[in-house]
Structure 1
């Protein structure tokens, strides 16, 4: 794995960039340290990729994939991987990340981040897929923990345990989503602080915060609400363990105007700065 490029984002707060805000970002050039976009939204040509290139000329950019489905039993989608490789070469992002999930069975694709059953054989399959992606891209990627709504019988790994083993085998890093940790705590009783403690200190390369919603008694990772107080507290705990890191604010549904989103972003920048100062002391 020594031939892989280890690109990094600047420590501090970043913001998820969604298409309704791109024109405003290019016109206003707000004071944001870095932006993250969903890779698949820029696989085509035309205006979207031209706008992303303009954003990239002014800011660091992270590519966050939602479609590879690394845990699928089906073979890796080589067309998807080729499109990602071309986008990485064109944008030269500061970071590339994917999810610990599956999304395909023979003849069918699910537009969702379905949790991988953590059973014997899962680690070997995931390691093969991560190795293939990193080899194709020539760079280290981060793998994100996902929200879960059901538990599987016979699981032999915790999610943090599986991620730590994946890091050890492949040299990848972890994108730690603390909102997903809290959603899993509410739905399945997972201890989020134990999950944070189970990850090696040098394995985490980025953190995500977002909002969730309760629907029919279930916590759903909608990215459609402000960050909750318990998630802010988990962010503090994660930064205390892992040190100053890039931290992204995600918002995908109930998308507010850019000015309103920037208000919450500034709350994140203040919190990240405060925690970083405490860690440095």
Structure 2
């Protein structure tokens, strides 16, 4: 894979702006948000211009105790082929727990959660990575995630964990410098130490994003300008290696094209500052090629599977953590209860936001009642499937309670639910057609 250059996360809300931006060499798209047979026209036009498109997955959960789901892997592979991507990316995280492995109800986080940096977790992650590598048609790169809490009893630093993961699997790394800053604030970890431990030749590209701090906790929002501390980490990385690609992520509260272009210029300047220092001979230099390390297709020889019981032990631990976050069970011993409460609130808020995006008619129907009603529902009902199922379950839950109190609003909600809850799609009702027309006008 050649050098990527400067890129931006493609989102429907800024598709037109991205197409018109000068100097965009590549874009990244959330894999689960595109359908291979019906790619957005904007992405097709970008590809025709020679802009590289990379699918970025968020739902594999390779850090989870279960083996990767074959259907999710096949879907990611299909998107890579449809987009002509040189690689695909995912996260070092778990997103679900429970189920057959632990003989407990399945639970979905709806977000990326940190894996414990232990030998057990590393063994499982390495095997899951090899399974994914064998199923994908292009190389895989994994991203370090932001975390609001730490696991007790961790055995490795972030740098050690990532370095050994690369050594054992040959996987590439997507280094998110904003996440390194998040972990500095929330977990007291030194980004420079993490970067110093990384195998530089394994870096595929770099993410940069904004966030905000509240009550001593950094929230990786992807909805704020990139702050100076994040840019400084990027400069520090660039003194060590020339990143093959650097990408700006923005997922909400999108500014205008001019502001996005200014942020991209600032990011380029931060990289240039690091490369200038490197040229001065003050730090180690190098070029990340994005190539695999080690030998063989995955970079190493055959890995022995984790010893018996490792997946079960990890599964029990992750289920206890996730259950405390989404189902109100006690926080496992050794975890910071205050941070776990922050994480639980963040998961519920994200869940409400994403449901509002996948089912935009619901906030229109319910108006100001939507958010409070959804958060009350989320406290009682953990998510066990995807967000679309969650939206249907939420509407059904309200209707069973005889809500909303306004008869006309309740009638519209019931019609919306009936249009989607049957075994086969129904012809959209006049109410649904009117809602869709209203949403199009708002867009």
* TM-score, length-scaled by structure 2: 0.58
**Once the 2 structures are TM-superposed, how far is the Cα of residue 29 of structure 1 from its aligned partner?**
5.6
Shift in alpha-carbon separation, 1:29–1:149, aligned structure 2, 3 A: closer
Shift in alpha-carbon separation, 1:120–1:271, aligned structure 2, 3 A: closer
Counterpart in the other structure of 2:194 = 195
Q: Deviations over 1:104-142 (max 9, x none)?
A: 112222210100011232112111111111111133211
- Aligned residues of 2:203 and 2:243 also touching (Cα < 8 A): no
**Once the 2 structures are TM-superposed, how far is the Cα of residue 266 of structure 1 from its aligned partner?**
1.9
The number of residue pairs the alignment matches comes to 272
After superposing the two structures, state which structure 1 stretch, 183-192 or 215-224, moved more: 215-224
- Aligned residues of 1:9 and 1:95 also touching (Cα < 8 A): no
Determine if the alignment matches structure 1 residue 21 to structure 2 residue 20. Answer: no
- Aligned residues of 1:224 and 1:255 also touching (Cα < 8 A): yes
List gaps (5 residues or longer) in structure 2: 100-105, 281-443
> 1:36 is matched with which residue: 2, 9, 28?
28
- Aligned residues of 1:14 and 1:249 also touching (Cα < 8 A): yes
Determine if the alignment matches structure 1 residue 52 to structure 2 residue 81. Answer: no
Shift in alpha-carbon separation, 1:191–1:60, aligned structure 2, 3 A: same
Q: Deviations over 1:79-112 (max 9, x none)?
A: 1111111111111113311111001112222210
Counterpart in the other structure of 2:250 = 251
Determine if the alignment matches structure 1 residue 156 to structure 2 residue 155. Answer: yes
Counterpart in the other structure of 2:238 = 239
5 Å-filtered alignment, 1:80-229, equals: 80-105=72-97, 106=99, 107-229=106-228
Counterpart in the other structure of 2:66 = 74
Report 1 or 2 for greater relative contact order, CA contacts < 8 Å, sequence distance ≥ 6. Answer: 1
Shift in alpha-carbon separation, 1:71–1:85, aligned structure 2, 3 A: same
- Aligned residues of 2:239 and 2:274 also touching (Cα < 8 A): yes
Structure 1 Cα separation of the partners of residues 94 and 247 of structure 2:
23
Structure 1 Cα separation of the partners of residues 52 and 278 of structure 2:
25
Runs of 4+ in 1 over 3 A off after TM superposition: 23-26, 43-46, 48-51, 273-281
Structure 2 Cα separation of the partners of residues 99 and 83 of structure 1:
16
Q: Deviations over 1:208-242 (max 9, x none)?
A: 11111113331011111111111111111111112
SS for the counterpart of 1:13 is strand
Higher strand share: 1
- Aligned residues of 2:21 and 2:261 also touching (Cα < 8 A): no
